Amino acid sequence: MQEGTVELLEAKLDLKVPNVHAFFTTRRGGFSKPPFVGLNLAEHVNDDFEIVEKNRELLRASLDGNPVISWMNQTHSTDVAILENMDDVLEITDADAQVTTLKKVALAVLTADCLPVLFTSDTGSIIACAHAGWRGLSGGIIADTVEALDVAPSHIIAWFGPCIGQEKFEVGDLVRTEFVEQNPEYSLFFLPSGKFDNKYFASLQDIAFFQLKQLGVKHISYDSTCTFTDKERFYSYRRDCVTGRTASLIWRT
């Protein structure tokens, strides 16, 4: 794609909600230069600040209805920000999930291997997004976000965006143990790497899917793209270390 363009891919929700829009970006287009080349949307990765702001404005202009984008300062926590007014939206807070009933506010989660999760009620009255790396999943970011939605789980629709695939996400035994001590069934989502003792390949999507099902969420869909292997379209911290971030966004109209 040419510089100054945006590639938006629609998030295919399990159930269509007419007044809710959900999309994710790729790295294609934008104005960032190497090593962030493309549509880097993160300010914290040492990209040129003015170029990142230019990328963000380009993205906003590309969104249907021109919503205000609510960005988070993500810290791998389980903190959920409740956005009740525009002051909340414009104040970038330390959080790894956002929830709102406001219209024309696009909740954004930035990722480069971690799992982005978007939520809406089946009526479209409330939406949320969450940044789910292994620390957030272990700490309960999924459950905390579902609780903050304050909707019966059977009426929640969730969508998983592109993240690092299991075959590329090697973790140590301490990570596996942290999950298995909470529930032995988590062991199903950690496969021995076969290369080193006490090393495993973990599936972020399977862990999140299991957690949502345990909470009673039935409508879950996902994009199975691996950010590590698809270098043309996605940033990957595991692959490149110094890299940009893409965004997954959801908003009401």
Mean pLDDT of 79-103: 95
What are the C-alpha distances in Å from 12 to residues 105, 159, 185, 220?
Answer: 20, 8, 28, 10
One-letter amino acid identity for 25?
A: T
Report the b/e string of 31-55 with b at 16+ CB within 10 A.
Answer: bbeeebbbbbbbbebebeeeebeeb
One-letter amino acid identity for 85?
A: N
Confidence of residue 1 (pLDDT cuts 50, 70, 90): low
Is the distance from CB of 62 to CB of 26 less than 8 angstroms? no
Question: Residue 5's pLDDT is what?
Answer: 85
Question: For residue 118, what is the enclosing H or E element?
Answer: strand 115-121
Is the distance from CB of 96 to CB of 75 less than 8 angstroms? yes
Question: Residue 196's pLDDT is what?
Answer: 74
Q: Which residues contact 146 (CB under 8 A, 6 or more apart)?
A: 119, 153, 156, 212, 215, 217
Mean pLDDT of 109-129: 98
Domains and CATH numbers, the chain: 6-164+216-252 (3.60.140.10), 166-202 (no CATH)
User: Residue 2 pLDDT more than 80?
Assistant: no
Confidence of residue 195 (pLDDT cuts 50, 70, 90): confident
User: Residue 160 pLDDT more than 80?
Assistant: yes
pTM: 0.95
Q: Tens of pLDDT along 200-239? A: 999 999 999 999 999 999 999 999 999 999 999 999 999 9
**Average pLDDT over the chain, rounded to an integer:** 96
Confidence of residue 197 (pLDDT cuts 50, 70, 90): confident
Question: Residue 212's pLDDT is what?
Answer: 98
Other beta carbons within 10 angstroms of residue 23's beta carbon come to 22
User: Residue 168 pLDDT more than 90?
Assistant: yes
Question: Residue 143's pLDDT is what?
Answer: 98
Confidence of residue 249 (pLDDT cuts 50, 70, 90): very high
Classify residue 188 by its DSSP letter.
Answer: G
DSSP symbols for 139-166: HTHHHHHHHHHTS-GGGEEEEE--B--G
* 169 or 195, higher pLDDT: 169
Give the separation between CA 165 and CA 226, rounded to whole angstroms. 5
Residue labelled with tokens 């099902």:
213
User: Residue 92 pLDDT more than 90?
Assistant: no
Residue 111 tokens read as: 């990722």
Is the distance from CB of 110 to CB of 40 less than 8 angstroms? no
